[in-house]
Amino acid sequence: MLLPETPDSLPALSQADAARREVSPTLDPKQRSKLGQFMTPAPIANFMAGMFDHLPETVRLLDAGAGVGSLTAAFVREAIARKQGPRSLDVTTFEVDSVLGQHLAETLAACARECEEAGVALTSRIIPEDYILHAAAPLLSEHSAPEQYDCAILNPPYAKINTGSKARKALSSMGIETTNLYTAFVAAALAQLKPGGQLVAITPRSFCNGPYFEPFRRFMLEHSALRKIHVYESRKQAFKDDEVLQENIIYQLIKSQPQAAAVRISLSHSPQDLDATARDVPFAEVVLSSDPHVFIRLPVSKEDGDLAQRVRALPCALRDLGVAVSTGRVVDFRARDHLRKDPEPGSVPLIYPGHFDGGYVSWPKPSARKPNALVSNAETAALMVPRGTYVLTKRFSSKEEKRRLVAAVYDPGRIDSDLVGFENHLNYFHSSGKGLPGDLALGLALFLNSTAVDQYFRQFSGHTQVNATDLRNLHYPAVRQLEEAGGHFGETLPDQERIDEIVEALL
Ligand SMILES: C[S@@+](CC[C@H](N)C(=O)[O-])C[C@H]1O[C@@H](n2cnc3c(N)ncnc32)[C@H](O)[C@@H]1O
């Protein structure tokens, strides 16, 4: 007869998962968001533990920001199950929240029971301190022993680090320049690994291309080899209990190892989907040697890889077209006194994403919640650009929107004004601050609205934000090709199928 499982006899991971479900809804929302308390469900924790390569006989494990201990529990389970697993484990966890710390202590006790049954020695500790400050401390003393762990398993907190904060200073002392806690945790953990040590982390994908993450990308690639990356197709699936909508990826890094020629990139629909597909992608296609911003690209499928090659074979960089891209200069809350709901004498058009309509900017929009106009005066002069044809793209798409890249043409033939203001949620393509030739602008908008470019874009951008740097980093057809394509753009944008046909021919 099977005995009912009591909390004491539950495997550590089941116990941690039960604690996660019990405690998550009770956490104070403010504290939760400040400390990034979104805990890993058991299937993902298991998957992460399985990403470690061969484990040495004795493993010193780090779990920084351990929550209720799901990741450690999954690691222990994996280590015990392996045929040639470790004989002893020494686990160091960091957790600042005392409530979670109590559950963590119970998980570690369950890990100890599991290890004892399996004949594996386990020692563990909880350090109830700020991991970043703690990691920096030995580096600041004379007796530093920073490289101490064989393995690190992380689901770090996501939150901004303020300039001037203690954490920021501590990170600088470690040679790490980053503005988000999650990259800070990964960088600090890498610094604390022994050479050859392995790190497996689940984090937002934003570090792969965000301009602010460039120093982190460089740090990561300089100190480790990128071995494996796993992507969940469905953005909502990984942390669906917690309604986390960030696109997350899981990756394995090996400290101080030369980068191998290929990176294994795998994809599954969700943690429940066991049909992961995987392929070995040349590292040269993941980080392009020509890329000044070292974006990490994820050409997940073979089709992605082929598309990337075709887009990269396009002949021009943006500057070759004589075109530049900038972010809209009107930050509306800073210009509050100068905003007008409707146009009035002495004001100029103010364009928001809400003015996009069938591939063109349609202005004014009397029913819009946002203002339609900006008063023209000495204070606002620097926020405007002169009359001309501009291509605009949205900087943020909503989660539901199918496309990341959405472009529209600002046509002075439709909006009669000597000046115009573009709001900060837009990027605008221009030529030395002035408008573009009409056909070129139309062709550019058509190109940016194609499915192929949107798909390519997704390979290096996992979030709904489109940075000007991302647009600068794209490859473009030649001026003549764009002008020709622009000829297909009538009173409205052609339908998607037609756009794709035209752009396919350019690729
Ligand atoms: C994203 S949660 C993940 C928890 C756990 N690793 C998991 O996967 O379920 C991050 C955890 O880090 C903790 N935390 C936040 N800031 C921290 C800091 N500076 N030092 C140590 N822990 C921290 C939070 O309380 C939270 O439990």
Residues 301-316 have pLDDT tens digits of 888 888 988 999 999 9
- Among 300, 335, 357, identify where a domain stops: 300
- With a 6 Å cutoff on the Cβ, whether 127 touches ligand 1 is no
Helices (H), 253-297: 283-286
294 φ, ψ to 5°?
40, 55
Could you tell me if the CB of 17 is within 6 A of ligand 1?
A: no
Based on the fold, state whether residues 342 and 458 are members of the same structural domain: yes
Query: Which residue's CA lies nearest to atom 27 of ligand 1?
Result: 67
Residues 327, 194, single domain; the answer is no
97, 166, 239: residue to mutate for ligand 1 pocket, most atoms within 8 A of CB: 97
Nearest CA to ligand 1 atom 14: 65
Q: What is the pLDDT of residues 7-28, one digit of tens each?
A: 456 799 999 999 999 998 888 8
Tally of structural domains, the chain: 2
Ligand 1: residue of 39, 47, 166, 185 to mutate (most ligand atoms within 8 A of CB) is 39
Cβ burial of 461 (10 Å; 0-12, 13-18, 19+) is buried
- Same domain (yes/no): 283, 151: yes
User: Strands (DSSP E) along 310-396, which ranges?
Assistant: 324-327, 339-340, 347-351, 356-357, 360-361, 373-375, 384-386, 390-394
- What would the mean pLDDT of 293-297 be, rounded to a whole number? 92
Domain housing 415: 318-506
For the domain that residue 486 is a member of, what is the CATH number? Answer: 3.90.220.20
**Position in ligand 1 atom list of the atom nearest CA 16:** 9
Å from CA of 131 to ligand 1 middle: 9
Regarding whether 280 and 189 lie in a shared domain, the answer is yes
CA–CA distance, 116 with 76 (Å, rounded to integer): 11
For 313-342, what is each residue's pLDDT tens digit?
A: 999 999 999 999 999 999 999 999 999 999
* Residue 56, domain CATH: 3.40.50.150
The per-residue pLDDT for range 98-123, each reduced to its tens digit, is: 999 999 999 999 999 999 999 999 99
SS3 288: coil
Show the tokens assigned to 17. 């998962």
Contact present, 482 and 476 (Cβ < 8 Å): yes
Mean pLDDT of 146-172: 89
Query: Domain check: are 279 and 380 in the same one?
Result: no
Instruction: Tell me, yes or no, if the pTM score tops 0.95.
Output: no
Ligand 1: does its nearest atom lie under 6 Å from the Cβ of 502?
no
Q: What are phi and psi of 357, to 5 degrees?
A: -155, 105
3-state secondary structure of 29: helix
Task: Tell me how many degrees the CA angle 115-120-124 measures, rounded to the nearest 5.
Answer: 65
Q: Please report how the helices 98-118 and 70-81 are oriented relative to each other, as an axis angle in degrees rounded to 10.
A: 10
91/146 same-domain check: yes
- Asked whether residue 308 is domain-assigned, the answer is no
- The model's pLDDT over 37-96, given as tens digits with 9 standing for 90+, comes to 889 999 999 999 999 999 999 999 999 999 999 999 999 999 999 999 999 999 999 999
Per-residue DSSP letter, 200: E
Tell me, using a 6 A CB cutoff, whether residue 35 lines ligand 1: yes
Secondary structure letter of residue 270 according to DSSP: S
311 assigned to some structural domain: no
Same domain as 334, residue 414: yes
CB of 157 sitting under 6 A from ligand 1:
yes
Q: Are residues 350 and 249 in the same domain?
A: no
Do 347 and 257 lie in one domain? The reply is no
- Output phi, psi for 311, to 5 deg: -65, -40
Is 80 within the bounds of a domain?
A: yes
In a domain, 211, yes or no: yes
The answer as to whether 414 is a domain residue is: yes
What is the CA 41 to chain-centroid distance, rounded?
Answer: 20
Task: Give the mutation target among 37, 103, 186, 244 for probing the ligand 1 site: most ligand atoms within 8 A of CB.
Answer: 37
Residues 283, 353: one domain? no
CA angle (41 as vertex; 40, 44 as ends), nearest 5: 85
Last residue of a domain, one of 240, 271, 300: 300
Confidence of residue 5 (pLDDT cuts 50, 70, 90): very low
Residue 333 lies in a domain: yes
Helix, strand, coil fractions of the chain, as percent rounded to 5: 40, 25, 40
Per DSSP, the residues of 102-146 read HHHHHHHHHHHHHHHHHT-EEEEEEE-S-HHHHHHHHHHSSS---
- Same domain, yes or no: 66 and 169: yes
Q: What is the 3-state secondary structure (H, E, C) of 139-159?
A: HHCCCCCCCCEEEEEECCCCC
In a domain, 442, yes or no: yes
Beta strands in 299-434 (DSSP E): 324-327, 339-340, 347-351, 356-357, 360-361, 373-375, 384-386, 390-394, 407-410, 419-422, 426-430
Model confidence at 437, in pLDDT bands (50, 70, 90)?
very high
CA dist 408 and 357 (Å) reads: 8
Is residue 403 within 8 Å of 441, Cβ to Cβ? no
Question: Rounded mean pLDDT of the chain?
Answer: 90
Please indicate, yes or no, if residue 278 is contained in any of the structural domains.
yes
39 Cβ closer than 6 Å to some ligand 1 atom: yes
- Residues 403, 280 share a domain: no
Please identify, among 242, 267, 300, the residue that sits at the C-terminal boundary of a domain.
Answer: 300
